[in-house]
Structure 1
Amino acid sequence: MERRYRQLLWAYPAGYRQARGGEIVGTYLDLAEPDRRWPSIFDAADVLAGGARERLRTAGAADLLPGVRLAAVFSFMTATALAGFWGTAEVVTTSASWGAPAFGPFATTGIVVWGCWLLAAVVHVIAPARWVRVVIGLALFLTAAVVPVAALFELPRPYLFVLVPQVTLGLLALAFPAQMARRHRLTPLAVASVAALIAVGILSGRSSWFYRFSYGAAFLPEAGAVLLLTAMLAAIVLSLRGDARGLWALLVLLTPIGLLGLYPLTENIAPVVGADYADFRVIIGTTAAIFLLGGTTLAAALAIRARSRTMANTQALPVDERCPNCGK
């Protein structure tokens, strides 16, 4: 157990490991069950998270994690808003007279996915954070599993254009703060309710063919634009207060914002790469490029912050003091 905990301590910077490593390992060993031979998943996650926090603090980017939590709040609200819109659309759209594929009384198998995301919004109001993360994890599993299940049973499903950004938003939503005011906990459910009303006004009486087409062609880019404007506004307001959380949140959200525009991006990229339409390869390639660009932008911001911190520390050193021994 001690050896395995010390292996996990590599998440911490070397200096911190040397100074505090024994204390950290001893604390975890004291709290572990006598017959346990491996660190628990929660202990391992706690050690890795602590190492990430310390490395960010050393690099001068300790405010990145609060920024990630702020981005998680925006991501959760966006994910539940999309679930409210598409879940309502599953119900209010009707099959075409010439026989559009359907999933019972619903347009697609997406009703199961959206229902689980809406359940997460409800649990977020009435239950502790750990239960919300469990339901979000279940929603993420269903969002990914709907693709092979629909293919196996030849059922209609949401397009990849909407499933990929939903998964990304959900993964980021897992980092939402554990402690939130009640009015803030109500926000995702309220946003989902407003999105559901919008869906009723736009899609009520439409055919399920129109609904399935609109999965990629419309609404998602608009949702990405709203998320971008919200993140930019938060960054401006917080920056005026000397708080960098908003800027980090904006950088973290660039990837899901880009994925919300996946459909128009792939439609424009497909002719460039010689594809007749946005097929699976174009979608995967564009998704990878968005992840790479978003990760590179965030890494560059971290590098700039670390460099500026190093330069500030160097400038703070006394360079004109004389040696007390030789006088030079």
Structure 2
Amino acid sequence: MSLTDLERRYARWMALFYPADYRRTRGSELMDTYLSLAAPDRRRPSPADVADLAAGGLRQRLRAAPGLGAGFRLAGLLALAITTALASWWAMLLALAPAVPRYVPTGPVLLLGVAAWVVWLLAAVVHAVAPGRWFRRVAVLALLVTAGVVPVAMLTGLVRPPLSVLVPQFFLGIVALGAAGRHRWWVRLTPLAAGAVAVPVAVAAGPRYDGYYITAAFTFPAAGVALLVVVTLLALGLAARHDHRGVWALLILLTPIGMLALNPLGAMLHNSGPGRPIVPVWSAMAAAALLVAVVGPALLTLAVAAAGRRSAGGRSRPAAEAYCPTCGAPSNSA
């Protein structure tokens, strides 16, 4: 029996989103469900169906990779801590710097950056008191404000923080969304504690504030190294107890860590000699950001795929068939 156009298109989306072992065991049932709900004259899956397939496929891939979901939550908590520390750092530098050099923009032009830092600090506060839905809403707002700084600056002509500052903050913020969920009270206070630690450091560094570019050139790589060391130690400690969430957190955080290291990476691409500039040219920074944005997610995708194949290979077919084909619950008749 030949497949219809609608069936073929559903099959392509299922092959894109769902693991192969899941498609073998429950693919036909999933296809029948979508076909029974589709209108008789429909020839293409609706956008809602495609989004539902994507969400379902993601859930199945998360289940196929042990510890990945917990790794996202751990990575989110660490990313939120660094995001809060950086937001506190920038806000205090801009507010308390006793002597601002003449070439550093002052006055209302700084409000574009301050708005982003304040919303991220608010996200840390909300995470401490309401780490679920309300935190996600405020974190998404902070992401929108961070991204919106660029078009607002273009429309108003005000000076904004450079992309070398906004891009790492944005990528950290994306990962920080994973911090939503139930945590112990002292865990929820971790981002606020990181922000509090940044305050005296910013106050001490205030007299030497040289603007966003030069300050970020020294601060961001240090923050990236600190984040890398912490997540690596956590990964090793948890792996010793056969807990893989630390390894997943490390893989998830590789992209934000790389974004924090854009200055040294851009300097390496711009000039490999001893006289590398502190702030590389824009093209070198853009190339470094593109490289990090490709390599980091690619490594994570390969790890998820490998974990899924290993999980599928470790299950025998009778065990895979020992589940109810309708609800997915373990069958008691086996």
TM-score range, shorter chain: 0.7 to 0.9
Partner of 2:90: 86
The answer on whether the counterparts of 1:94 and 1:206 sit within 8 Å (CA) in structure 2 is no
Establish whether residue 255 from structure 1 lines up as the match of residue 252 from structure 2: no
How high is the sequence identity, in percent, across the aligned residues? 37
What displacement does 1:306 show? 4.1
In 1, distance between residues paired with 2:178 and 2:34? 24
Partner of 2:55: 49
Distance 1:202 1:242, change over 3 A: same
In 2, distance between residues paired with 1:102 and 1:169? 27
Establish whether residue 211 from structure 1 lines up as the match of residue 241 from structure 2: no
What displacement does 1:74 show? 1.0
* 1:232-283 deviations in Å (ceiling 9; x for gaps): 11101111111111111111111111110101211221236xx997333322
SS state at 1:109 partner: helix
Counterpart residue identity of residue 253, structure 2: L
SS state at 2:107 partner: coil
Distance 1:18 1:62, change over 3 A: farther
Pairing 1:263-282 to 2, within 5 Å after superposition: 263-271=263-271, 278-282=280-284
In 2, distance between residues paired with 1:103 and 1:22? 62
In 2, distance between residues paired with 1:170 and 1:226? 17
What displacement does 1:107 show? 4.6
Partner of 2:185: 182
In 1, distance between residues paired with 2:150 and 2:99? 21
Counterpart residue identity of residue 51, structure 1: G
* 1:30-64 deviations in Å (ceiling 9; x for gaps): xxxxxxxx887xx986763332121343xx41422
In 2, distance between residues paired with 1:250 and 1:99? 39
The answer on whether the counterparts of 2:165 and 2:212 sit within 8 Å (CA) in structure 1 is no
What displacement does 1:151 show? 3.5
Partner of 2:69: 65
Which runs of 5 or more residues in structure 2 are unaligned? 1-5, 39-45, 320-334
In 2, distance between residues paired with 1:72 and 1:280? 29
Counterpart residue identity of residue 288, structure 1: L
* 1:108-150 deviations in Å (ceiling 9; x for gaps): 6311110010011111122251111111111111111212322
The answer on whether the counterparts of 1:81 and 1:193 sit within 8 Å (CA) in structure 2 is yes
The answer on whether the counterparts of 1:102 and 1:155 sit within 8 Å (CA) in structure 2 is no
In 2, distance between residues paired with 1:66 and 1:25? 34
In 1, distance between residues paired with 2:226 and 2:153? 31
Pairing 1:214-253 to 2, within 5 Å after superposition: 214-253=214-253
In 2, distance between residues paired with 1:220 and 1:117? 17
Structure 1 vs Structure 2 CA RMSD: 3.4
In 1, distance between residues paired with 2:55 and 2:110? 41
Distance 1:114 1:240, change over 3 A: same
What displacement does 1:226 show? 0.8
May I ask how many residue pairs the two structures share in their alignment? 295
What displacement does 1:179 show? 1.3
The answer on whether the counterparts of 2:72 and 2:249 sit within 8 Å (CA) in structure 1 is yes
